[in-house]
Amino acid sequence: MSEAELRAAITRELPGVRADLERLVRIPGIAFDGFDHTQVDRSAEAVAELLRGCGLDTRVVRSGGQPAVIGSRPAPPGAPTVLLYAHHDVQPTGDLALWESDPFEPVERDGRLYGRGAADDKAGIMAHVAALRAFGDALPVGVVLFIEGEEEYGSDSLERLLQEHRDDLAADVIVIADSGNWDIGVPALTTSLRGIVNCFVEVRTAEHAVHSGMFGGLVPDALTALAKLLATLHDDDGTVAVEGLVSPGGAVVDYPEDRLRAEASLLDGVSFVGTGRLTERLWTKPALSILGVDAPRTAEAPNALVPSAKAKLSLRLAPGDEPKSAYAAVKAHLEKYAPWGVQVEVTFEHDGEPCVIDATGPMFDAARDAFRTAWDGVSPVDIGVGGSIPFIATFQEMFPGAAILVTGVEDPHAQAHGPNESLHLGEFARVCLAEALLLRNVANAAA
């Protein structure tokens, strides 16, 4: 199909694609513990119905976790196969009072579609569906759609699913639609992502709480000890101070400071932390954050010295680092710098590999050309992402011969994972066209 024919086909299909996206958004498929997992089952079945409607041989699968959906159509003789990935589960909503509308009732405001999962990642699913519908029976490549059901909860069963269905998922090109674009009007290919190590540190000072007046000034309390210990994790400028972590830097794209402050909702007077280019600090250097602390609530705290306190830490690993050695470095640091001889226990929660993608070769050229056409001559930017998609490293390991293209539908204002998540509808139309053009270009590049 020509570019003009694909543009017309996408325009024709977009109203139905949007309607189906809204139907998906209405399903609260949250894979976290404590939520109704029948909704995740319902979400998987809705996705399976969409893929069957595209003529794909489709089944719902699971391997001890939440349901994924696999749909496939064989390649025409001599044509390559493309694996299209997205996920149908979503993040919890958080505080509903912070939402301007019901998170599971999609609403359009100012050219954006609001709702949990509208961007991350149900729009990724529908971009795949839009491209398939545009081609109809004239699809120039083989396709395998793999739509995961627990990405937001850590993808615990993903590696087992990939192993069990490895032959069915084998492809020449893998498109992972779970990232974002550089800006509205500027597409991007994601070429590096940080890894992750989450752990807990607990400090203990006494067998039980004691009177703060009778013993204060002599006996250390666990909260003060924990605060003092956590303060050693960063230098005065905010740089991570844990020895043994990889910190290569090297990002080359500039991030406008005013834009970054606005996107991060940083308050007036609050400075950035760390050193180096902003994009290095975001993409290619480690970051260590304190996500939470278990301690008495202020409204209920007695005048007593707290005997134990616990914090959750999240380390984002620079590309090139390794989760096990990074965890060992953090654990060693916390044990070394424990003040006043307090007892320290560090426990592991989960980790994920960082990754770097060599985005060169004919399939990446095909992708860049598709993006350039869909965005009316604007070339895509190669970006890093400070967040983590650990399974990309798994795909790299299991399918070493495949070109992995990390794309997405989000923009800097999407607020994925936060309240009022939204999708820019104009950019979504470009994403759908870009994917259709990509499939055509991949077929041409392999001819």
Residues labelled as active-site residues: 89, 151
One-letter-per-residue 3-state SS of the chain? CCHHHHHHHHHHHHHHHHHHHHHHHCCCCCCCCCCCCHHHHHHHHHHHHHHHHCCCEEEEECCCCCCEEEEEECCCCCCCEEEEEEECCCCCCCCHHHCCCCCCCCEEECCEEECCCCCCCHHHHHHHHHHHHHHHHHCCCEEEEEEECCHHHCCCCHHHHHHHCHHHHCCCEEEEEEEECCECCECEEEEEECEEEEEEEEEECCCCCEEHHHHCCCCCCHHHHHHHHHHCCECCCCCECCCCCCCCCCCCCCCCHHHHHHHCCCCCCCCCCCCCCHHHHHHHCCEEEEEEEECCCHHHCCCEECCEEEEEEEEEECCCCCHHHHHHHHHHHHHHCCHHHCEEEEEEEEEECCEECCCCCHHHHHHHHHHHHHCCCCCCEEEEECCCCCHHHHHHHHCCCCEEEEEEEECCCCCCCCCCCEEEHHHHHHHHHHHHHHHHHHHHHHC
d(CA 278, CA 274): 9
Amino acid, single-letter form, for residue 408: G
One-letter-per-residue 3-state SS of 133-146? HHHHHHCCCEEEEE
Rounded to a whole number of angstroms, the CA Rg of the chain reads 24
For 144, residues 6+ apart whose C-beta sits below 8 A from its C-beta are 70, 71, 72, 81, 82, 83, 84, 168, 169, 171
